[in-house]
Amino acid sequence: MTEDEILKGLYDETLVGNGPRVLELVRAGLDVGLGPERMLFDALIPSLEEVGARFERGDYFVPEMLIAGRAMSGALDVLRPLLAETGAQSVGTFLMSTVKGDVHDIGKNLVNIMLEGAGFHVIDLGVQVPPEKVIAGVLEHKPDIVGFSAFLTTTMPMFKANINALQKAGLRDSVIVMVGGAPVTQEYADAVGADSYAADAATAVRKAKELLAARRAAVTA
């Protein structure tokens, strides 16, 4: 199979949620030397975007979205070690979660993989994480950055609830707060008092490094 045929296959088979075929194609891609990033950004993510568009139009329903999401997660499991390959020392600790009420985790997991690839030690609290669990995680792991993902307009307000909980626990100033997820904007992040927002995984990594460097410089100044 050519690279283009594999990429097209990945797109088409993710769209119909054919998990086993997606895995075969990922492996075929690796065999012919297709980079994991190309499979991700040129096929798998665009396919999920089309799944979302079909859901919005009423052509797809939750089950279709679910099997497409599962197919993508299976592919990510295979690509994860390749995307996160790093010999670097830990540059900082990142505590990540999807907010309470929200089960979406593909985007969060992708951000985690890229952060690990950049040398961060990532602790993932999972999905539907209530503020109390975040606070317990901060106390236990003492992260440099606390990241929150929300993928629904109805769960975005949990950013504010989490930030309030950090404030109430006296922990707000000890961590950098970063937020993200498909419906989130810079304006929204500013409004809830987050320190940073990123629209995608690569930007999240860049901003995490910049914020950490700035904070460390301020501490040593």
| Residue ranges in contact with ligand B1M by CB under 6 A | 45, 48-49, 51-52, 55-56, 62, 65-66, 68-69, 73, 101-108, 110-111, 147-149, 151-153, 178-183, 198, 200-201, 204
Cβ closest to ligand B1M, residue 1 vs residue 130: 130
Cβ closest to ligand B1M, residue 106 vs residue 125: 106
Cβ closest to ligand B1M, residue 16 vs residue 182: 182
Q: CA-to-CA distance for 12 and 18, rounded, in angstroms?
A: 9
Which of 21, 204, 182 lies closest to 102 in space, CA to CA? 182
Cβ closest to ligand B1M, residue 21 vs residue 70: 70
Cβ 168 to ligand B1M shortest distance, Å = 21
51: tokens are: 């799944």
Cβ 82 to ligand B1M shortest distance, Å = 16
Cβ 52 to ligand B1M shortest distance, Å = 3
Cβ 202 to ligand B1M shortest distance, Å = 7
Tokens 């799944």 belong to residue: 51
Residue with the shortest CB distance to ligand B1M: 107
Contacts of 118 (CB under 8 A, 6+ apart): 86, 88, 91, 205, 208, 209
Cβ 91 to ligand B1M shortest distance, Å = 16
Tokens 């975007």 belong to residue: 49
Cβ closest to ligand B1M, residue 34 vs residue 178: 178
Cβ 150 to ligand B1M shortest distance, Å = 8
Cβ closest to ligand B1M, residue 62 vs residue 221: 62
* HEC-encoded secondary structure of 167-218: HHCCCHHHCEEEEECCCCCHHHHHHHCCCEEECCHHHHHHHHHHHHHHHHHH
